[in-house]
Structure 1
């Protein structure tokens, strides 16, 4: 999968140099029937370099060792999950193996024409609220016992407390320099504390996307939802993690349609799930808001923090 994204100035350093010559060589050696197709750069993210291949394919190649396990997660599980999902996802079509010149596995995936949803305002993203709800209804089904677990997604909210408080300690200083209109640390701590009081997830672990922010969604020219990408954090656990998307993507109006489209999260305790989701939302939004202002996720984070603070008020 690929999407037009603005590059981040905070990307981790790459472990390998990936260029068209390397990619063409990998194709000749492992998928020669694809090697003659037109090849052009499709973008560079935090974890992967993307090349567009022909008209409807793309290659995803990890640019650092930490991304390998994330790609292997997608290679292992997405082919089985994709047929039941109502929105297109980057289920791998071909696999690539490490070589002497490139040390990581890689994948050939569908190319989805569109733009990162983070580049649209929230009022436009409201248009796909029902579609995203339908996607989660189809995804949030009980996961098998051997489904992956993720130490930072789908876990009890309290397990993320140290990380949240560490980030929050630097928030007011960052806010004063870059976002003085944003809520201060005391307001965000109140949102977090309230979420911690909610009962824990009592149902079976369900499948989670794990990283459902707008930069991982491909939108069309009118803001319609084209595809959901980046399943590296795919895991099983508490669905409240993914419900945080309601604050990250939508205005209050769109969030209402998103929530109505979900009807009820899997398992008992609908109200508790949404309370925990607030905690996940404030934690994720704080990370995004502390990106530099040129990064689109900065605006996504500020939007969510403002909504959460307004609700708390």
Structure 2
């Protein structure tokens, strides 16, 4: 109907914090940071992110659904950071609701680097970053991490390790991308989804590990030399089948780079690989929809490539 406003997108903010409001919230709660420059750094589905004083990164939730993840980050990231070979954000400033902002927020030291999705690295230049990511996940998925830092984490709350859930969701997103002229149906991708759909949920059975939960090319940072420099955005931290994080191997890397990541990580069964591939298709399709709607040209290109990577060698 003419004049009817469009329905909100799933990533639209319920509370979008401006730089001025962020400065007031940070300065009001943390006097040592008052008066420092506050610059927009990034927007995601769940958080608006600002750089404060050139060295502190503050995350403000955009949607109420993100709040459990905010609390998990505050509670669990300090313990995890000590076990991991790459930097991750460690909340050092925790702010409570104030001045019209209804939710907690937190700040950590800046983790240097650029999102892999924005770095523009060609496939052949991703080998070192992939190997670094594999070693990182090997440490994160170590049983000791689950024993030390995994207590109280939910088990795969969004069923990302269940291809019978994620394959239909991936098809819905691929259909919408096709309708926008951004994707052409691909038999290899459908074969991965169809095969994966025959798997039920992972039962755990002693293989659950601490997982980042949403590991993709926006959350892996790389430096100017193409090495991995950090892993950010831990709002989906959980315990789950390791396939949930290994989706990065199939959505972000291919060929020699993927082989390097898996060599650094360790053996991956065919079933776990299939779970990871299905999730990679879903995540990359979701990122492509977001990128197309928000004008992230490089992210769109990376995400569409990622869909095809997920069904390739």
Q: Give the TM bin, normalised by the shorter chain.
A: 0.7 to 0.9
- State the match for 2:307 in structure 1: 305
State how 1:109-124 maps to structure 2 within 5 Å: 109-119=108-118, 120-121=120-121, 122-124=123-125
Q: CA RMSD in A?
A: 2.5
1:19 and 1:173, CA in 2 relative to 1: closer, same or farther beyond 3 A?
closer
Structure 1 residues 132-183: Cα deviation after superposition (integer angstroms, max 9, x where no partner): 0111011113434522233324543223344234334445434xx2244xxx
The equivalent residue for 1:32 is 31
1:211, distance to aligned residue in structure 2 (A): 1.1
**What is the alpha-carbon distance in structure 1 between the residues aligned to residue 223 and residue 117 of structure 2?**
12
Q: For 2:191 and 2:21, locate their aligned partners in 1 and report how far apart those are by CA, in whole Å.
A: 51
- Structure 2: which 5+ runs fail to align? 1-8
Is the 8 Å Cα contact of residues 84 and 139 (structure 2) preserved in structure 1? yes
Taking the aligned partners of 1:15 and 1:302, their CA distance within structure 2 comes to: 28
Pair 82,299 (structure 1): closer, same or farther in 2 beyond 3 Å: same
DSSP 3-state at the match of 2:82: helix
Structure 1 range deviating more: 284-293 or 248-257: 284-293
Where in structure 2 are the equivalents of 1:184-195 lying within 5 Å? 184-195=185-196
For the residues of structure 2 that align with 1:61 and 1:292, how far apart are their CA atoms? 21
Output aligned runs, 1:89-238, within 5 Å: 89-119=88-118, 120-121=120-121, 122-142=123-143, 143=146, 144=150, 146-174=152-180, 177-180=181-184, 184-197=185-198, 200=202, 202-238=205-241
- 1:249 alignment partner in structure 2: 252
In structure 2, what is the equivalent of residue 43 of structure 1? 42
Q: TM-score, normalised by structure 2?
A: 0.83
Contact 1:171 1:185 in 2 (8 A): no
8 Å Cα contact 1:126-1:254 kept in structure 2: yes
TM-score (norm: length of structure 1): 0.83
Runs of 4+ deviating beyond 4 Å: 197-202, 291-294
- Asked if 1 retains the 8 angstrom alpha-carbon contact of 2:52 and 2:58, the reply is yes
Shift of 1:235: 0.8
Distance in 1, matches of 2:218 and 2:307, equals 17
- Alignment gaps of 5+ in structure 1: 1-9
1:169-217 CA deviation, whole Å, 9 max, x = no partner? 445434xx2244xxx2543221112234468454331111111111112
Match of 2:67 in 1: 68
Are 2:274 and 1:278 equivalent residues in the alignment? no
